[in-house]
Amino acid sequence: MTSHYDVLIIGSGGAGLSLALKLANQATHVAVLSKFALTAGSTYYAQGGISAVFDAEDSIESHIEDTLDAGAGLCNPDIVRLTVTQGKSSIDWLRQQGVMFTEEVTASGEKILHLNREGGHSHRRIVHTADATGKAVSLSLIERASEHPNITLFEHHNVIELITCPDKSLAGKRICGAYVLDSSQQGVKTMTAKIVVLATGGASKVYLYSTNPQSATGDGIALAWRAGCRISNMEFMQFHPTCLFHPKAQSFLISEAVRGEGGKLILPDGSSFMEHFDPRAELAPRDIVARAIDHEIKKRGIDCVYLDISHKSADFIHSHFPTIYKKCLKFGIDITQQPIPVVPSAHYTCGGVLTDSYARTDISNLYAIGEVASTGLHGANRMASNSLLECLVFADRACIDILQKLALIPEPSSPPAWDDSQVIDSDEEVVVSHNWDELRHFMWDYVGIVRTDKRLHRALSRVELLKNEITEYYSHFRITSDLLELRNLVIVAELIIRCAQQRKESRGLHYTLDYPSLDNSKPPSNTILTPYK
C-alpha cells in the first residue's frame, strides 16, 4: 500500500508537531508519524521548561554568553544568537496554541510569567508549567494538530528505512519517502512525500540507565546515516545528574529546577560536596555535576547521593514540584521531610544529524529538527532548557525553507513495494532481547560518564560482533518494532564510540582519563563522520 503526502514528519514531539502546525495552513497533506502513542516521546516527559529572556534584569547577550560557556567552545555563535533571539516569540506562539504557563502576581497586581533558574544560567529565564512543562506543551500541540484538517496523525508507525531517488538536477539524490511498519496492523506501508522531516528525538536508551522514555533509540540518526547523511558530535552524550534512584522507579527525572530553587546535593552523612568541584556548586553545568556525583559514588562505594529540598516549606514544594512530590511519595519518599536519592543517567544527545541554519541535511528535501539534529546550538554540552527552545526555533526555520520550495518539487514516483517474501517469523526473539541488554550494559560501562581508550576499544569490538549478529537476524526474520530499534541502536553506539575515539582531549560532556585536559594547541573543532561509500 502506497500513500502520498506533501510533507512526512517522523516524530510527534515538540519539534514535529510544531512544524506540522506551522506548515498545515499552506501544505495540504501533512503526515506525522509516532512510533508509539503520540505522547510517548521525550517532550511529554520534560519537566523543567523553556529558556527565554523575559526578566528586565536579564538580556539576550547574557543568554548567549551562558550558552556559549556551557558549550565549551564548540557552539556555533551564529546559531546560538539565532536561537536565543527567538525565545520570546517562541513562547508567545505556544501560548497561542493554548499552552498555559505558570504565572505569578507582582506587588502592583500584574500577572507575569514565573521564571525558574537552572544550572548554567546566570539569571531566572526558564518559562515553565509547574514541573510538567513538556506535558502541557505536548497535549496542547496534539489537540491542535488533531483538529487541523490538513494534518494526519499516525500512531504506532515505526520507520524502517528512508527512500531516496536520483536527482539529475542536483547531481545526487533526494528524499522521496519511507518504508513504515504499522505495528497495530503488523504490515509495512510505503509512504512517499516531497519533503521528509526527521523529528525522532535522541538516543539515550543506548545506555543502561536513562531518564528518557522507551522511544529514545536514535532512530532518526541511524536512518539518516544509512541514507548517506553526515553525523556530528555523537561523543557528547549528556548525563543528567539527578535521576530518582529506586528499584521500582524507571527513568524518572528530578528536574534541574529543584537545584535551581535551592536544593542541595549531599552525601549519606548529610555533608555537601559540590563546592569542592565548582564554585557554582549545585548550579554548575550538568556535565560537572554529573561527574562530581559519579566521582563520589565510585570513591565511596555508595549506591547514590541525595538531593535535599526539605528546608523549603511544604507549600513551596507542593506548588513548585507537584509531579516530583507525588512520584516520590509513591515510593515512600516525602520530599518535604527527607532528601531524594539520585544518580546520574543518560539524558540528552547533543550531537546528531548535521544540519544548517534551516534544518537541511546532506540529502535534498530531508530535514532534521529537535534532538535528532546537530545544529551547532549545544556544542560540547547542552545548557538546561535550551532543548525545547531549539525544537520551536528550528521547526520555524524548516517551515520557512519548506514553504519556499514545496510547490517546485515534483511528485515522487512510486518506489517498489516492501518485499518480505524471503523472510519468516522469528523463533529466536531471545536474540533481540539479549543483544539489547548486552549493548546497553557495555555502553554504560565503557562509554559512559568517564572513558578511556581501552574502554572505547573494547566497546567497539563488541559493537562489531553485535552488528554482524543483528544484520544476519534482520535478513532472515520478519521485522518487529523491537528489532528495528535494536538495529538502530547498534549504529548509534558505533557512532558514539567512533566520535569519542577521535577526540583526544576532555571537553564538555566527553571526559577521558587518557586525555583529561582541553587540547589548546589548536582551535576546537567538531567531530564529523561521513558514511561509507
Residue 527 lies in a domain: no
Q: Rounded distance, CA 459 to CA 462, Å?
A: 5
Q: Rounded distance, CA 512 to CA 326, Å?
A: 38
Does residue 487 share a domain with residue 401?
no
Q: CB atoms < 10 A from the CB of 374, how many?
A: 27
Asked whether the predicted pLDDT for residue 249 surpasses 90, the reply is no
Asked whether the predicted pLDDT for residue 169 surpasses 70, the reply is no
Task: Band the pLDDT of 170: cuts 50, 70, 90.
Answer: low
Does residue 143 share a domain with residue 279?
no
Does residue 482 share a domain with residue 434?
yes
> What are the tens digits of pLDDT across the range 101-144?
999 998 899 999 999 998 889 999 999 999 899 999 999 999 99
Average pLDDT of span 153-158: 97
Last residue within a domain, chosen from 345, 366, 389: 345
Does residue 134 share a domain with residue 31?
yes
> What are the tens digits of pLDDT across the range 445-485?
899 999 999 999 999 999 999 999 999 999 988 999 999 99
CATH code of the domain covering residue 478 = 1.20.58.100
Last residue within a domain, chosen from 319, 345, 371: 345
Residue 226 lies in a domain: no
Query: What single letter denotes the amino acid at residue 132?
Result: A
> What are the tens digits of pLDDT across the range 260-282?
999 999 999 999 999 999 999 99
Residue 323 lies in a domain: yes
- Report how many domains make up the chain: 3
Residue 21 lies in a domain: yes
Does residue 441 share a domain with residue 380?
no
Helix (H) or strand (E) segment spanning residue 198: strand 187-198
Q: Which residues, 6 or more positions from 192, have their beta carbon under 8 angstroms from its beta carbon?
A: 2, 3, 4, 5, 163, 176, 177, 412, 414, 415
Residue 276 lies in a domain: yes
Measured in whole angstroms, how far is the alpha carbon of residue 56 from the centre of its chain? 30
Q: CB atoms < 10 A from the CB of 164, how many?
A: 21
Does residue 134 share a domain with residue 15?
yes
Residue 391 lies in a domain: yes
> What are the tens digits of pLDDT across the range 173-228?
999 999 999 998 879 999 999 999 999 999 999 998 899 999 999 999 999 999 99
Does residue 16 share a domain with residue 146?
yes
Residue 202 lies in a domain: no
Does residue 369 share a domain with residue 257?
no
From 117, 125, 174, 286, the catalytic residue: 286
Q: Rounded distance, CA 85 to CA 60, Å?
A: 6
Instruction: Give residue 533's pLDDT.
Output: 59
Does residue 335 share a domain with residue 449?
no
Does residue 142 share a domain with residue 45?
yes
Strand-strand pairing, 30-33 and 2-10? parallel
Residue 362 lies in a domain: yes
Average of per-residue pLDDT values in the chain:
94
> What are the tens digits of pLDDT across the range 375-420?
999 999 999 899 999 999 999 999 999 999 999 999 888 899 898 8
Q: Which residue range(s) make up the domain with 71?
A: 2-154+350-408
Q: Would you mind telling me the total number of residues written for the chain in this entry?
A: 533
Last residue within a domain, chosen from 345, 362, 379: 345
Average pLDDT of span 66-72: 96
Q: Please write down the HEC assignment for all residues of 128-196.
A: CCCCCHHHHHHHHHHHHHHHCCCEEEECCEEEEEEEEEEEHHHCEEEEEEEEEEECCCCEEEEEEEEEE
Does residue 305 share a domain with residue 271?
yes
Does residue 7 share a domain with residue 149?
yes
CATH code of the domain covering residue 14 = 3.50.50.60
CATH code of the domain covering residue 333 = 3.90.700.10
- Taking Cα atoms as reference points, which of 32, 83, 91 lies closest to residue 358? 83
Q: Which 3 state secondary structure label does DSSP give 239?
A: strand
Q: Is 286 labeled as catalytic in the residue annotation? A: yes
